[in-house]
Amino acid sequence: GNSVTQMEGPVTLSEEAFLTINCTYTATGYPSLFWYVQYPGEGLQLLLKATKADDKGSNKGFEATYRKETTSFHLEKGSVQVSDSAVYFCALSPGNQFYFGTGTSLTVIP
């Protein structure tokens, strides 16, 4: 079946620290992979995506590489800011439907 496993939070980092949020998946076929971000009280916004193996998605300093051999799509950012504080969801989509991880809450302190 299809599922996504994310590292559990919450994660607290100091400003300018390096961020990694781990995400692994199981899937039938060849899904597209996504990272969504949710700010307090809001819906989800697409952060980045990758549609095939070895693709790297990037946006706003965040990156994630579609690793088929390790079935992973880890999210990274070299230097986080206070404004990056949010909940991050890893997701996969083999077709029409989305499967989400449980979300990882990130708090960045000045």
Partner 1 sequence: GAVVSQHPSRVICKSGTSVKIECRSLDFQATTMFWYRQFPKQSLMLMATSNEGSKATYEQGVEKDKFLINHASLTLSTLTVTSAHPEDSSFYICSARELSGRNTEAFFGQGTRLTVV
Contacting positions for partner 1 (CB under 8 A): 30-32, 34, 36, 41-46, 49, 51, 89, 93-98, 100-103, 105
Looking at beta carbons only, is 18 or 30 nearer to partner 1? 30
Looking at beta carbons only, is 58 or 93 nearer to partner 1? 93
Looking at beta carbons only, is 18 or 39 nearer to partner 1? 39
C-alpha distances in Å from residue 75, one per residue of 1, 14, 23, 53, 63: 23, 17, 7, 15, 6
* Cβ burial 88-102 (10 Å sphere, 16+ → b, else e): bbbbbbeeeebbbbe
